[in-house]
């Protein structure tokens, strides 16, 4: 539901397991039988490219049966309520439901109505926990230990579920987090999550990691910035603002020329493609954790997140 539900040990276990799945993803036949015979249901009430496709691939690589329902083109279009939809789809006896919706708290409701395990794949402006996990994984693979890293999250924090989940997740892993953006797009309460707030990028040079957010225009009901051009002039991450030792992250989709300039998107410092790739193995680890770990809470590989090492772990003692 939320990164708040996860301890540091939980996160490390999931990331360790994701690393073991990375080995599976490197094979010609990218499948293990861990979830054979189980059904995973994607229920998406909002647009998605990366999240929905990576959950689908994750379920299929674990050999689950996979069903996808999108609000558009389904009975939701005809006015069926979330509760009725969940009850109807529960007739298929899914082991797990992945839900994305524009309503904060929707995943909790689904969990109340369906006997299945539930994963929050983004609920309105509130949280997107698997995005935070895949971001931690990507960064860990790139830089090793995360303790003490200085992370700047820049842009439209107000409308971003990624910002909330990521502040919580980076803090949990011992990073120092700063959020920066126009005061109209940075809610003051965000400080209560344990981060600093800045209204300018003047001190951006101190950051080890620059995490840019998309301007979420679909969630803006008024003018939060005078113009996108003015926003870009003050807050765009470009070749001038990004220094060579910093790494750049973005959850996608990117508004090219708004929050990021083309030169930095395509630079070797950008981890954007790696984030997408990590989405599959991290979501495999989340599905595995909920459905196949049998309540085992020990680290998958005992790596303790010191430094990434090549994966040699067999998945549940089986490889296929």
Could you give the count of Cα atoms lying within 13 Å of 216 in the half-sphere of its Cβ? 23
Cβ(309)–Cβ(303) below 8 Å: yes
Q: How far is the CB of 306 from ligand ASP (least distance, A)?
A: 29
Q: What residues have CB less than 8 Å from 154, skipping those under 6 apart?
A: 179, 180, 181, 201, 204, 210, 211, 212, 213, 235, 237, 259
By CB atoms closer than 10 A (0-12, 13-18, 19+), residue 64 is: buried
DSSP code of 114?
-
Torsion of CA 215, 221, 223, 227, to 10 degrees: 40
Q: Which residue is nearest to ligand ASP (CB)?
A: 214
Kindly tell me which residue out of 38, 128, 172, 283 binds ligand ASP, with binding defined by CB under 6 A.
128
By CB atoms closer than 10 A (0-12, 13-18, 19+), residue 208 is: middle
Q: How far is the CB of 44 from ligand ASP (least distance, A)?
A: 10
CB atoms within 10 A of CB 294: 6
Q: How far is the CB of 27 from ligand ASP (least distance, A)?
A: 28
Taking the least distance from each CB to ligand ASP, the nearer of 161 and 172 is 161
Q: By CB under 6 A, is residue 181 in contact with ligand ASP?
A: no
Taking the least distance from each CB to ligand ASP, the nearer of 48 and 90 is 48
CA-nearest of 64, 57, 67 to 24 is: 57
Q: How many residues bind ligand ASP (CB under 6 A)?
A: 8
Taking the least distance from each CB to ligand ASP, the nearer of 98 and 162 is 162
Q: How far is the CB of 49 from ligand ASP (least distance, A)?
A: 8
Q: How far is the CB of 22 from ligand ASP (least distance, A)?
A: 22
Quick check: helix, strand or coil at residue 228?
Answer: helix
Taking the least distance from each CB to ligand ASP, the nearer of 187 and 252 is 252
Taking the least distance from each CB to ligand ASP, the nearer of 279 and 308 is 279
Taking the least distance from each CB to ligand ASP, the nearer of 181 and 308 is 181
Taking the least distance from each CB to ligand ASP, the nearer of 127 and 289 is 127
**Residues between 196 and 215 with contacts to ligand ASP, criterion CB under 6 A:** 214
Q: By CB under 6 A, is residue 159 in contact with ligand ASP?
A: no
Cβ(102)–Cβ(125) below 8 Å: no
Beta strand segments in 33-149, E:
39-44, 65-70, 96-101, 117-123
Per-position DSSP letters for 263-295, written without gaps between them: HHHTSTTB-HHHHHHHHHHHHHHHHHHHHTSTT
Q: By CB under 6 A, is residue 283 in contact with ligand ASP?
A: no
Q: How far is the CB of 224 from ligand ASP (least distance, A)?
A: 15
Kindly tell me which residue out of 82, 162, 190, 282 binds ligand ASP, with binding defined by CB under 6 A.
162
Q: How far is the CB of 252 from ligand ASP (least distance, A)?
A: 6
Q: How far is the CB of 47 from ligand ASP (least distance, A)?
A: 8
Q: By CB under 6 A, is residue 251 in contact with ligand ASP?
A: yes
Cβ(125)–Cβ(159) below 8 Å: yes
Q: Which residues bind ligand ASP (CB under 6 A)?
A: 122, 128, 161-162, 214, 216, 251-252
């Amino acid at each position: 539901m939320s990164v708040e539900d996860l301890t540091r040990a939980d996160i490390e276990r999931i990331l360790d397991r994701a690393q073991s799945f990375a080995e599976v993803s490197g094979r010609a036949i990218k499948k293990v039988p861990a979830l054979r015979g189980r059904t995973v249901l994607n229920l998406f009430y909002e647009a998605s490219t990366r999240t929905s496709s990576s959950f689908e691939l994750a379920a299929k690589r674990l050999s689950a049966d996979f069903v996808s329902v999108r609000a558009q083109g389904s009975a939701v279009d005809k006015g069926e309520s979330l509760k009725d939809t969940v009850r109807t789809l529960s007739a298929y006896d899914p082991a797990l439901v992945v839900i994305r919706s524009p309503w904060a708290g929707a995943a909790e409701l689904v969990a109340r109505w369906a006997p299945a395990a539930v994963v929050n794949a983004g609920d309105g402006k509130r949280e997107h926990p698997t995005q935070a996990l895949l971001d931690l994984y990507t960064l860990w693979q790139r830089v090793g230990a995360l303790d003490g890293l200085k992370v700047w999250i820049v842009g439209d924090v107000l409308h971003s579920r990624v910002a909330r989940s990521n502040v919580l997740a980076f803090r949990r892993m011992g990073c120092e987090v700063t959020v920066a953006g126009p005061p109209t797009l940075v809610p003051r309460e965000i400080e209560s999550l344990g981060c600093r707030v800045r209204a300018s990028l003047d001190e951006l040079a101190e950051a080890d990691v620059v995490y840019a957010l998309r301007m979420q225009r679909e969630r803006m009901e008024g003018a939060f910035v005078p113009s996108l051009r003015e926003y870009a002039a003050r807050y765009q991450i470009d070749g001038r603002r990004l220094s060579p030792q910093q790494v750049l992250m973005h959850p996608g989709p990117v508004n090219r020329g708004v929050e990021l300039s083309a030169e930095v998107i395509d630079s070797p410092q950008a981890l954007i493609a790696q984030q997408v790739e990590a989405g599959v193995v991290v979501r495999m680890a989340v599905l595995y954790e909920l459905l196949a770990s049998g309540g085992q809470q020990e680290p998958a590989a005992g790596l303790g997140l010191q430094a990434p090492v090549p994966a040699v772990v067999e998945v549940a003692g089986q490889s296929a």
